Amino acid sequence: MPTLSKRITGIMPSGKDGWEVHFAALTRKQAGEDILMLSVGDHDFDTPAGTVAACVQALERGHHHYIQLAGLPRLRAALAKLSTDCTRLETTPEELIVTQGGQGALFAACQGALDPGDHAILIAPYYATYPGTVRAAGASFTEIEASAERGFEPDPEMIAAAVQPETRMILINSPNNPTGAVYSRETVEAIADICRRHDLWLLSDEVYWTLRGSREHISPRALPGMKDRSLVVNSLSKSHAMTGWRIGWLTGPADFIRHLVSLNIVSSYGMADFVSHAAAEAVEKAYGVAEIAARYRDRRRAFLDAIRHINGVAARGSEGGMYVMLDISAVEPDCEAFAWELLEAEKVAVLPGTSFGAAGGHVRISLCQEEPVLREAAARIGRFIAGRT
Ligand code: PLP
């Protein structure tokens, strides 16, 4: 076989994707074992019936063809309104492009803003694809740790100190995967200020914005002087329970977005016609949005309540999104060992924090299960820990 490009082999240099515990657990569950899967960030329920019906109708009406490369105009218009709500800044359809999920938007943003040799700043723990997405643009990155002691909010002074002459971008994510942290206004303002001072892009991943619990969602795009340097990643995957439909979008300056159309031409050649019609209706009618947000809020409360009495674990800064980051350092600093042993002893699948760039001693719990399952998982975790201490 002739050689592969350095670009492709450089995306995941370790060859490990961090999902080893999840896939081992999945194989055993599919073989019939009673394993509680708290390892994956996909809903345990299906897409709302209204969205499914809209898709069937779109198919029956002949929406089977190529569509505009920046996205179906009806969908772009609906997403512009949704972005206006999310960022609290008036957004026009020309300021966004529809992508293959939120991941497509992250990829497009990095391709559009970073050149080989450029540098980006990531906040750890982070969504596991961030390093590879930056590397795919040929750029390098520095990780700034958002510590559990600070409720997983980053220290802006540490970010400012990491800026180099090659730095072009800071990437933030609130509500956060994997920690559940929802950044305060002060934190977002301080990071925006660094971007203004050093002429940087601020890539803000807001895919969990509807799952913000009782907190206010702050998008940097609406802050003074930030409209032309903010790139906002969004998606219907979590908010509208549409993970498998692959509808995301990137909001940014109209000129930046215009250039990204060329990326769609050479990659996806646009989105699926009937899916785009269904997605437009899902957004226009807000199918499921309030119920999904309420469901995750209740699940978070139920899980946090259930683990409160377990000696040796803590969950700090857990306020939004679909996850809880559990501090197990008092029991076992090696979180990979903890995850494998928990799977073996109690048949609960969680992911080690190190899969998300976290310091050791944490595991990520996904709330994508009904409350009784979450309570049962908490009881099994408690029993596992009691057996070790
Ligand atoms: N950003 C974050 C923080 C995520 O957690 C995810 C998915 O889990 C994505 C982006 C990608 O979303 P999508 O499934 O729409 O590609």
Q: Is 237 close to ligand 1, i.e. is its CB under 6 Å away? A: yes
Distant-in-sequence, close-in-space partners of 335: CB < 8 Å, separation ≥ 6: 328, 352, 353, 354, 358, 360, 361, 362, 363
How far apart CA 104 and CA 11 sit, in angstroms, is: 15
Please report, for the domain that includes residue 199, its CATH number: 3.40.640.10
Contact criterion met (CB below 8 Å) for 233 and 207: yes
Ligand 1, atom nearest to 321 Cα: 5
In this structure, are 153 and 237 located in the same domain? yes
Query: Is the same domain home to 296 and 202?
Result: no
Q: Tell how far the Cα of 274 is from the centroid of ligand 1, in angstroms.
A: 22
Q: Number of structural domains, the chain?
A: 2
Q: Which domain holds residue 311?
A: 6-46+289-388
Q: 118 with 176, same domain?
A: yes
Best mutation site among 172, 235, 250, 325 for ligand 1 pocket (most ligand atoms within 8 Å of CB): 235
Same domain, 201 and 137: yes
Q: Is 220 in the pocket of ligand 1 (CB under 6 A)?
A: no
Q: Which of 285, 306, 326 finishes a domain?
A: 285
Distance between CA 233 and CA 96 in Å, rounded?
10
Model pTM? 0.97
- Residues 374, 248: one domain? no
Q: Which atom of ligand 1 is nearest to the CA of 42?
A: 8
Q: What is the largest CA-CA distance in the chain?
A: 63
Residue 58 lies in a domain: no
Angstrom distance (rounded) from CA 250 to CA 93: 11
Does 168 share its domain with 200?
A: yes
Per-residue pLDDT of the chain (389 residues; tens, 9 = 90+): 999 999 999 998 877 778 899 999 999 999 999 999 999 999 999 999 999 999 999 999 999 999 999 999 999 999 999 999 999 999 999 999 999 999 999 999 999 999 999 999 999 999 999 999 999 999 999 999 999 999 999 999 999 999 999 999 999 999 999 999 999 999 999 999 999 999 999 999 999 999 999 999 999 999 999 999 999 999 999 999 999 999 999 999 999 999 999 999 999 999 999 999 999 999 999 999 999 999 999 999 999 999 998 998 999 888 999 999 999 999 999 999 999 999 999 999 999 999 999 888 999 999 999 999 999 999 999 999 998 86
Distance between Cα 2 and ligand 1 center (Å)? 34
The verdict on 32 and 108 lying in the same domain is no
**Which of 237, 261, 285 is the C-terminal boundary of a domain?**
285
> Would 51 be classed as within a structural domain?
no
CATH number at residue 346: 3.90.1150.10
CB count within 10 Å of CB 385 equals 21
Q: How far is the CA of 211 from the centre of ligand 1 (A)?
A: 13
Distance 177 CA to ligand 1 centre (A): 9
Report the atom number in ligand 1 closest to the C-alpha of 246.
15
Same domain? For 295 and 263 the reply is: no
- Could you say which of 285, 306, 328 is where a domain stops? 285
CA of 345 to the centre of ligand 1 (A): 31
Strands 247-251 and 96-100: antiparallel
Domain membership of residue 120 (yes or no) is yes
ipTM over 0.85: yes
